[in-house]
Chain A
């Protein structure tokens, strides 16, 4: 099985930078996704990492260390609309189905 850990909740200030961590224990790692989910809405794709290092996409970046079983999502220049749940999802083993973590609820305040 897989074990995916994320903080339950984080708060940050508008305009600031926040880092959301995800650790996982799995065998046969095949990739890691980050999704954003606003309350009552569908998850939307943010990033995908399969190799070690940093992937940058506008205000959002995602980092992966396979040897440490660790990823983070970095959000810069926070906006109020970034208040949402951020889901870490890992693909591993012989399956191509992502297993989702419980998500981190980010609250951005003025």
Chain B
């Protein structure tokens, strides 16, 4: 069964450094998402992406964050200058459609900011 893959599984970065999290969505999916989950807390939406542009973003997704689909398969999340509070599990998800269709999540990247 096709799946969403994310790399790396764990990223440790110094505060203030840039970090790029990578995702390969399911190949025939059209909608792409990033979520984060701080340890012990709920899954929070960051951004959705469709047709090569951001379709929706949350208040969390400020100017420090950006997304890109550099080629036909990868979908990346960049955090420009990381803060301690960016430490979380970051999940990429993809879907065939929007409402009525489930999102398929990757296994996540655990980001630890020191």
Query: Which residues of A line the B interface, CB within 8 A?
Result: 30-31, 33, 41-45, 48, 50, 87, 89, 91, 95-103
CB contact between A97 and one of B42, B56, B107 (< 8 Å): that residue? B56
How far is B48's CA from A43's CA once the two chains are assembled, in angstroms? Answer: 17
Known contacts: A30-B99, A31-B99. The answer to whether A97 contacts B105 by CB under 8 A is no
29 A-B pairs in the complex with CB atoms less than 8 angstroms apart: A31-B99, A33-B102, A41-B107, A42-B4, A42-B91, A42-B107, A43-B43, A43-B105, A44-B105, A45-B102, A45-B103, A45-B104, A48-B100, A50-B100, A89-B43, A91-B99, A96-B98, A96-B99, A97-B33, A97-B45, A97-B48, A97-B56, A98-B45, A98-B103, A100-B44, A101-B42, A102-B41, A102-B42, A103-B42
How far is B76's CA from A44's CA once the two chains are assembled, in angstroms? Answer: 21
How far is B31's CA from A95's CA once the two chains are assembled, in angstroms? Answer: 14
How far is B93's CA from A45's CA once the two chains are assembled, in angstroms? Answer: 11
How far is B102's CA from A97's CA once the two chains are assembled, in angstroms? Answer: 11
- B side interface size, CB within 8 A: 20
How far is B47's CA from A95's CA once the two chains are assembled, in angstroms? Answer: 12
Residues of B within 8 A of A43 (CB): 43, 91, 105
The smallest C-beta distance from B50 to any residue of chain A, in angstroms, reads: 10
Residues of B within 8 A of A91 (CB): 99
- B25 interface residue (CB < 8 Å to A): no
The smallest C-beta distance from B70 to any residue of chain A, in angstroms, reads: 23
How far is B3's CA from A42's CA once the two chains are assembled, in angstroms? Answer: 11
Interface residues of B in 25-45 (CB under 8 A from A): 33, 41-45
Residues of A within 8 A of B100 (CB): 31, 48, 50
